[in-house]
Chains A and B, each alone.
Chain A
Amino acid sequence: MLVLLLTLGATIGLAELLSSVDDDNNLFAMAVFIMAVVIVARWTDGYIWGIVAAIIGTFCVNYFFTYPFWAFSISYTGYPLTFAVMLIVSVLISTLTTRLKQQERLRFDIEREKMYSNLLRAIAHDLRTPLTAIIGASSAILEQELSAADQIRLAEGIRKDAEWLVRVTENLLSVTRVSNHSMIKKEDEVLEEIIGSAITKYHRLPGSLPVESDTLRDIILVPMDAMLIEQVLINLFDNVSAHAEGATKIWIHLRKENGMVFISVEDDGCGIPASILPQILDGTYLSKRSRSDDRRSMGIGLSVCRSIIEAHDGQLFAGKSRHGGAAFEFSLPCKEDMHVG
């Protein structure tokens, strides 16, 4: 609506200016109005606004720029024809523009649909394997005569798989929060507090590695949804303990540059082959893997991290660590330092 009014207003002004230069030629006026119709069709979504603009445009030309000026007239002979032609041209243009835009949106929808189904496949896959193991182990305990040691071993397996499932579902909950932007509640948080809490939670998981973090001299406030960023860190730590063979320790390196803070999670494990680096962040690595039953897929965790970080206007990078293993670095916009006495 606003677009429509603004455009038409501007058009009338422009046409008025042009016709004051050349009094006789109101062809200018018509051309300018057709342009206005195209602009309206381009910037509004729907077809109705385009047609409305076309009709108003035609009347405006009649009112302002054809003889008699500043009045409607249908007496002059060529008028019905001009009116009809201009209306048809405007409507056609507006229809075409709208259809073009719809196609664009359709393509975008298909793209997103594809991404969702990829994600769903990855999730279903991640859930199935541990569930099978849980059912198998629990029915073995219930139905077979097992030694106490075997029972304990099976129960440990059940716990491990269930803990893994919890992490997968937590990631899924984060995804629904991120895809619904209104559910992200950003507050100014002190970065080291979130890092500290993520480390504490990570250390409750079985098989966790020691984590050493830089501390920045200044207190940095970062606007963020603390739960989600904490989740990103836990995912990155967890990836190290699950995938980085030979890793003995995790380092967190922090640096500040041009209003952004960069948080890098690094390890001294086997690293990531350069050939899969680009795929690893967008979740496509998972679907291309040859061994489809390998449970510990990186796919979901990392694509969740990426969407959380992008929802915070940051970026996630993967690369080589100065400690010999892999490095995952992400950036977040931060505020001025706070100095407290």
Chain B
Amino acid sequence: MSGKVFQKILIIEDDPGILNYLETTVSAAGYETVTATDGKLALHMVASHCPDCILLDLGLPDMDGIDIITSVRKWTLTPIIVISARSSDEDKAVALDSGADDYITKPFSSIELLARIRTALRHSLTAAENKEIGIDGCYRVGELEIDYKKLRVCVRGKDVHLTPNEFRIVALLGKHPGRVLTYKSILRELWGPSALMDNKILRVHMASIRRKIEDDPTNPRYIFTEVGVGYRIAENTQETDDQH
């Protein structure tokens, strides 16, 4: 990592033990770190340091983490990774819906944390849309190919017969590889903000999609379920996330 401009990570966390762990891990990986232990300081730090990525613990003493996300999002697209406890699902969905890019659940390993940071930084460089689609109108991951020009999905070169709604779901996920899209945001995107759709319909569509594109629907390779939150499509990565 030498001879390179350091990317700056802002860590917002009030627990000294976890802060210590995060700071050590992140700086050992070659990033520059700045820290904030409460919401007010955090907002100040975002404005003065312009970090490349923000790690945000939702449980802060003085402010709701969601409020931090909304006020940061008013003026910058800096990627925000939310750190949350496992017991608070709705919080994750709310955080993603209010503009967070990703979430990571406590407890997590340093490998997982660093992989998420790399993903977030890469996305911020390639902007919101999936750059790979721009090149030839296709997104390919593994043996799955989503063709945005011919509006079809192929697995191992064979056309998969998706219904129009199923295709729209896959196409939407494919535009944001590696990112969790919440049930709410998928429904809103596909059926409009006022559509009276419930998650059930989406789940049934997804089950049907999996039967068509996955070899083993209970061991998915392409579309992953984040229980209680939403769906994530696999991302093309040169690096493997579980390396040591």
Contact = CB atoms under 8 A, between A and B. Distances in A.
A340 B149 CA distance: 25
Given A190-B207, A193-B207, A199 B218 contact: yes
Contact of A166 (B107, B203, B204): B107
A114 to B, nearest CB: 28
A338 interface: yes
Helix, strand, loop or mixed for chain B's interface? mixed
Contact of A219 (B207, B216, B227): B207
B163 A341 contact: yes
B204 A230 contact: no
A194 to B, nearest CB: 7
A211 B220 CA distance: 13
A192 B217 contact: yes
B218 A196 contact: yes
Given A196-B225, A199-B219, A190 B203 contact: yes
Contact of B218 (A170, A187, A192): A192
Give the contact-size bracket for chain A.
20 to 34
B89 interface: yes
Given A190-B206, A199-B219, A226 B227 contact: yes
A310 interface: no
A162 B106 CA distance: 12
Nearest to A173: B87
Contact of A188 (B200, B219, B224, B228): B200
A213 B219 contact: yes
B208 A187 contact: no
B168 interface: no
Contact of B89 (A194, A227, A340): A227
Contact of A193 (B87, B107, B216, B225): B225
A166 B228 CA distance: 20
Given A166-B107, A219-B204, A219-B208, A252 B218 contact: yes
Contacts of A196: 217-220, 224-225
B202 to A, nearest CB: 10
B203 A189 contact: yes
Interface in B200-244: 200, 203-208, 210-211, 216-220, 224-228
Contacts of A227: 89, 227-228
B49 interface: no
A248 interface: no
Q: Which of A162, A166, A341 has the most CB of B within 10 A?
A: A341
A176 B200 CA distance: 27
Contacts of A170: 86
Contacts of A192: 207, 210, 217-218
A156 to B, nearest CB: 12
Contacts of B204: 190, 219, 221, 338, 340
Contact of B227 (A162, A166, A230, A341): A230
Interface in A50-94: none
B199 interface: yes
Contact of B217 (A188, A215, A226, A341): A215
Contacts of A163: 107
B87 A187 contact: no
B90 to A, nearest CB: 9
A173 B163 CA distance: 41
Q: Which of A166, A190, A197, A341 has the most CB of B within 10 A?
A: A190
A195 interface: yes
A200 interface: yes
B233 to A, nearest CB: 14
Interface of B: 86-87, 89, 107, 163, 199-200, 203-208, 210-211, 216-220, 224-228
Interface of A: 162-163, 166, 170, 173, 187-190, 192-197, 199-200, 211, 213, 215, 219, 221, 226-227, 230, 252, 338, 340-341
26 contacts: A162-B107, A173-B86, A173-B87, A187-B199, A187-B200, A188-B200, A189-B203, A193-B203, A193-B210, A193-B225, A194-B227, A196-B219, A197-B224, A197-B226, A213-B218, A215-B218, A219-B208, A221-B200, A226-B228, A227-B89, A227-B227, A252-B218, A338-B204, A338-B207, A340-B163, A341-B163
Given A219-B207, A221-B203, A340-B205, 19 more contacts: A173-B87, A187-B199, A190-B203, A192-B207, A192-B210, A192-B217, A193-B203, A193-B206, A194-B225, A196-B217, A196-B219, A196-B225, A197-B224, A200-B224, A219-B204, A219-B211, A227-B89, A227-B227, A340-B208
5 cross-chain pairs, A with B, having the tightest CB-CB distances, nearest first = A213-B218, A340-B208, A190-B207, A219-B207, A196-B218
